[in-house]
Amino acid sequence: MEGTPIVPPPLVRFSGIQKTYDGEHLVVKNLDLDIRKGEFITLLGPSGSGKTTTLMMLAGFEVPTQGEIYLSDRPIKNMPPHKRDIGMVFQNYALFPHLTIAENVAFPLSVRKISKAEVQDRVKAALRMIKLETLAHRRPGQLSGGQQQRVALARALVFNPQLVLMDEPLGALDKRLREQMQLEIKQLHETMGITVVYVTHDQSEALTMSDRIAVFNDGIVQQIDKPSALYEQPVNSFVAHFIGENNVLAGTVETVEKDYCRVALAGGGAVTARAVNVSGAGASTSLSVRPERIALVPDGASSDGSNRLPARVQNTIYLGDHALAVLDVAGNCEFMVKLQPGTHDGLRHGESVFVTFRPEDCLALDPV
């Protein structure tokens, strides 16, 4: 129809992908996933969830047992890795210790038989991009971990690949350097317009860097969406628990009315929650409430329609920019409430308080 925007085909398409190593247990199950040109997509999940195997199949280091992978609309399942025009960044850097930094960066160009003059120009530009042009003649062992990771990144980008894959690239760095590199990689992505597929088990890293996140568990993508949508609107209890801090309360659905349900808690009491993914009255459910959406009130405080449950203080943890109150609520003795600094000083172990939270901030989901 006239005026309807034309949606370009995905740069990468996984179609009906399955992978098994022993012929019995599927590591990746029926994967259908499209990756758009220019986006930064993260494959996130715990160890053994299938995310790294998915990346290795795209890189060409593993072959799918079933299904097909398309790159720019071409099937690549049987295409060797060096013909896929894909850059790769590993956690262990994989630099050649006997070559200089410049020679390491130049390696992908040399195997592509590019002229010597163009190789020199591209290497200089790549080293300038990562701010290491003055260290071109050093060897990898003379650089810090962060500098080596920058070199690995430059080597993956120097031949202008249509796609860059990153497998836990910041896992070996300390917290401060890791956070700095997150911003640098994201800035390079935005400046160059490259497509990045990034694998990590670190949910904060995924939230910081990604346009979209595919959450893996047991070989299946549980949910794929923007970081804010995964955090605010998880489709099941696994996603809710894996993305960010989360309080879980078990219960049984008593009634369902439109978008909300009434839930009797296994540990006593009842609350009203958003019926995100429930089977109906009588079904078991897992309630998800974020620590920052909860308030503490003393005994006898009035309620404005919010859920209100008795609690007992177990501990308080000071974390600088905020504090956590750890409470016993409805049988969950690790129920956390995020507090502003200075507001937790009066809390004492064993003290009785009440927690309150709005029904719209309490999500009723399928149990784990």
**What residue segments make up the domains of the chain, in order of their start?**
12-232, 245-365
Helix axes 145-157, 175-192, angle to 10 degrees: 20
The pair of structure tokens assigned to 95 is: 């630099």
What residue has token string 């409805």? 330
Identify the bridge partners of residue 281 per DSSP, sorted by sequence position: none
Under DSSP, the state recorded for 233 is S
pLDDT at 367: 80
User: Which of 3.60.40.10, 2.40.50.100, 1.10.10.60, 2.30.110.10 is the CATH number of 245-365?
Assistant: 2.40.50.100
pLDDT at 99: 93
Collapsed DSSP state (helix, strand, coil) of residue 51: helix
pLDDT at 159: 87
What pLDDT tens digit does each residue of the chain (368 aa) get? 555 666 677 999 999 999 999 989 999 999 999 999 999 999 999 999 999 999 999 999 999 999 999 999 999 999 999 889 899 998 887 889 999 999 999 998 887 878 889 989 999 999 988 889 899 999 999 998 888 988 999 999 888 898 999 999 888 788 888 888 888 889 889 888 899 999 999 999 999 999 999 999 999 999 999 999 999 999 999 999 999 889 999 999 999 998 999 999 998 899 999 999 888 889 999 999 999 999 998 776 656 778 999 999 999 888 888 889 999 999 899 999 999 876 666 788 889 999 999 999 999 998 86
pLDDT at 3: 59
Architecture of domain 12-232: 3-Layer(aba) Sandwich (3.40)
Give the C-alpha separation, 330 to 249, whole Å: 7
The pair of structure tokens assigned to 356 is: 């309150």
User: Which contacts of 152-155 are long-range, i.e. CB under 8 A and separated by 24 or more positions?
Assistant: 152/89, 152/90, 152/93, 152/94, 152/95, 153/89, 153/185, 153/188, 154/105, 154/126, 154/127, 154/129, 154/130, 155/87, 155/95, 155/104, 155/105, 155/107, 155/108, 155/126
Contact 326, 336 (CB under 8 A): yes
User: Whole-model pTM?
Assistant: 0.89
